[in-house]
């Protein structure tokens, strides 16, 4: 026997063996014929009592109150909890009372999965319940669930002492905290709403490679691996942009992808090494059109998830109702700092950053310095959805030069709740200009910029065949989900976020 098992875990293993000794299979393979969920019964009983004379539900045993020959218990399925009434004489045949006296009262543990058949009724205290006529063991739980308690203010919480427990053992968090399950239901609704919005407009959902011989489409450090058969280095993609634009060369009018991207960089409550991006590219459009499209789509998403364009996020109410506020990049910096940097060279920008108390690395070029100034002095002040437009060309090697403003590109970022949620361009489709931009990135790499882009010859070859005027956008799904579901950390909208190697597991307790 494993010496690291707690006393409660040892008891559960003893109960498992007792179940087997009684001839009860603790992990049966037979299908259990569920006919209703707890939510369906709670919502439908009052208007259709006759429809609930025969019900069959299944879930975890979450509580139990033994009262001699009859008991009350509570089971939890994916939709909520349901009280059940268990009578010894109803679930046992003849003189054999083993199922009730030995199994239900003694061997069953909280967390075990059971199936019940019976009929719905209302107790004398007014609680909707299921009177059990048949009880089936579906799966034995060998670890105890954390205790859930309700404080004086009615707030429900669990006794998990390790703050990282919920991320390491999400399966437990989902079991004891139904509001966590609802967060991921809302995330799914958000993604489905976006998908529906785009497919209804005729855009094609596609898939592009995760393993790439050359990473690109963003400024980031990649994860690196080796393919043994091909004896070739591959990278986990940092973005899917360049492959999607290859498809635009191929003749599609609009393509999008919900993509898992990977960046070998720092972690925070806004950053995870693995994250989800939605990228969309539409032919014969520009960034002005894409701003209007983005406003409309995110407004649609908020309505689909919440039924309103106003979303509570922490202490703020975020309104996704169109139109959103718009600043140019230089305009935003001047608005929030009082300094016009639009005509400054790199030396002037370094002096300005220093005067603003912003640390600048020697490897940073003009674009990175401007980005640092904006990030330090502007971004945290943008709570309501806001577009920042018209970026310096140095910051945007994949964006088309502005049609009327020399030195700028047609680009916007969407900022909400003080964080970037999307990035979009009028896509650069001039192969000669694109080559020059890549070569400038190579020079930044020589200066020590680890995030500088590579020169992708195949992508340049694709552009030489001709790509139509195209608008493109990338939306950070996890960042947007944090806002839509009112979560403070990206880890709260990822089922299984990356974590440091686990050291110890805190003891857990339960109460009958």
Domain with CATH 2.40.50.140 in the chain: 7-145
Cis bond upstream, residue 263 (ω within 30): no
Per-residue model confidence (pLDDT) at position 86: 97
CA atoms within 13 A on the CB side of 133: 9
Q: Given pLDDT bands bounded at 50, 70 and 90, which one contains residue 501?
A: confident
| pLDDT (tens digit per residue) in 107-125 | 999 999 999 999 999 999 9
Tell me what the pLDDT averaged over the chain comes to: 92
The CATH architecture annotation of domain 7-145 reads Beta Barrel (2.40)
Considering the entire predicted model, what is its pTM?
Answer: 0.89
Q: Which two tokens stand for residue 410?
A: 């047609």
Cα–Cα distance for residue pair 458/60, rounded to 1 Å:
55
Q: What is the DSSP letter of 404?
A: S
- Residue 318 predicted with pLDDT over 90: yes
Task: Provide the 3-class DSSP secondary structure of residue 333.
Answer: helix
The count of other CB atoms within 10 Å of the CB of residue 374 is 22
For residue 177, how far is the Cα from the chain centroid? 17
**Helix ranges, 60-100 (H):** 88-91, 98
Give the strand pairing for 128-139 and 386-392. unpaired
Contact 424, 473 (CB under 8 A): yes
Query: Which helix (H) or strand (E) covers residue 41, if one does?
Result: helix 38-44
Beta bridge partner(s), residue 84? 73, 130
The per-residue b/e assignment along 268-282, b for 16 or more CB within 10 angstroms, e otherwise, is: eebebeebbbbbbbb
| pLDDT (tens digit per residue) in 418-470 | 999 999 999 999 999 999 988 888 887 777 776 677 889 999 999 999 999 99
Domain with CATH 3.30.930.10 in the chain: 179-324+384-493
Per-residue model confidence (pLDDT) at position 396: 85
| pLDDT (tens digit per residue) in 348-378 | 999 999 999 999 998 888 888 999 999 999 9
Per-residue model confidence (pLDDT) at position 98: 93
For residue 395, how far is the Cα from the chain centroid? 28
Cα–Cα distance for residue pair 325/302, rounded to 1 Å:
18
Q: Given pLDDT bands bounded at 50, 70 and 90, which one contains residue 508?
A: low
Beta bridge partner(s), residue 475? 278, 422
Percent pLDDT > 70 in the chain is 95
Output Rg (C-alpha) for the chain, integer angstroms: 29
* DSSP per-residue codes, 246-281: HHHHTT-SEEEEEEEEE--S--BTTB-SEEEEEEEE
Cα–Cα distance for residue pair 107/12, rounded to 1 Å:
8
- Residue 207 predicted with pLDDT over 60: yes
- Residue 156 predicted with pLDDT over 80: no
Q: Which two tokens stand for residue 300?
A: 């649609």
Per-residue model confidence (pLDDT) at position 440: 85
Cα–Cα distance for residue pair 410/399, rounded to 1 Å:
6
For residue 487, how far is the Cα from the chain centroid? 10
| pLDDT (tens digit per residue) in 467-484 | 999 999 999 999 999 999
Hey, what CATH topology would domain 179-324+384-493 get? BirA Bifunctional Protein; domain 2 (3.30.930)
| pLDDT (tens digit per residue) in 21-69 | 999 999 999 899 999 999 999 999 999 999 999 999 999 999 999 998 9
Give the strand pairing for 470-476 and 274-283. antiparallel
């Amino acid at each position: 026997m494993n010496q690291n098992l707690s006393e409660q875990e040892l008891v559960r293993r003893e109960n498992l063996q007792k179940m087997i000794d009684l001839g009860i299979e603790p992990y049966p393979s037979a299908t259990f014929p569920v006919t209703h969920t707890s939510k369906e019964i709670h919502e439908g009983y009052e208007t259709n009592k006759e429809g609930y004379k025969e019900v069959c539900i299944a879930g975890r045993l979450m509580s139990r109150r033994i009262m001699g020959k009859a008991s009350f218990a509570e089971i939890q399925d994916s939709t909520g909890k349901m009280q059940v009434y268990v009578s010894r004489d109803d679930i046992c045949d003849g003189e054999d009372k083993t199922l009730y006296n030995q199994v239900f009262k003694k061997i069953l543990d909280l967390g075990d999965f059971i199936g019940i058949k019976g009929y719905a009724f209302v107790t004398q205290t007014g609680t909707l319940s299921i009177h059990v006529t048949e009880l089936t063991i579906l799966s034995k739980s060998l670890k105890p669930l954390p205790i859930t308690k309700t404080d004086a203010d009615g707030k429900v919480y669990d006794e998990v002492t390790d703050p990282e427990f919920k991320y390491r053992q999400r399966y437990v968090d989902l079991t004891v905290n139904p509001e966590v399950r609802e967060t991921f239901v809302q995330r799914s609704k958000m993604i489905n709403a976006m998908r529906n919005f785009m497919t209804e407009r005729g855009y094609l959902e596609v898939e592009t490679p995760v393993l790439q011989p050359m990473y690109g489409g963003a400024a980031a450090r990649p994860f690196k691996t080796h393919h043994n058969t091909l004896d070739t280095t591959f990278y986990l993609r940092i973005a899917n942009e360049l492959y999607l634009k290859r498809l635009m060369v191929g003749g599609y009018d609009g393509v999008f992808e919900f993509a898992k991207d990977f960046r070998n960089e720092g972690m925070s409550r806004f950053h995870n090494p693995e994250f989800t991006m939605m990228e969309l590219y539409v032919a014969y459009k520009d960034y002005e059109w894409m701003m209007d499209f983005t406003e409309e789509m995110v407004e649609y998403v908020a309505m689909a998830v919440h039924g309103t364009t106003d979303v509570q996020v922490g202490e703020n109410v975020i309104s996704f109702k169109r139109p959103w506020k718009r600043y140019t990049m230089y305009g935003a910096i001047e608005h929030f700092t009082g300094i016009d940097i639009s005509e400054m060279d790199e030396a002037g920008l370094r002096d300005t950053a220093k005067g603003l108390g912003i640390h600048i690395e020697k490897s940073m070029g003009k674009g990175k310095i401007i980005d640092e100034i904006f990030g330090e002095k502007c971004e945290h002040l943008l709570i309501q959805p806001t577009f920042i437009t018209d970026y310096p060309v140095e910051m945007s090697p994949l964006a088309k030069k502005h049609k009327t403003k020399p030195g700028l590109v047609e680009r916007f970022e969407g900022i909400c709740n003080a964080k970037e949620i999307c990035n979009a361009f009028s896509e650069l489709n001039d192969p000669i200009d694109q080559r020059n931009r890549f070569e400038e990135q190579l020079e930044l790499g020589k200066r020590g910029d680890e995030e500088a882009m590579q020169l992708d010859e195949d992508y340049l070859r694709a552009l030489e065949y001709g790509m139509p005027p195209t608008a493109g956008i990338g939306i950070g799904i996890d960042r947007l989900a944090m806002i839509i579901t009112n979560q403070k950390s990206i880890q709260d909208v990822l089922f299984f976020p990356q974590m440091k190697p686990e050291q110890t597991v805190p003891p857990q307790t339960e109460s009958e």
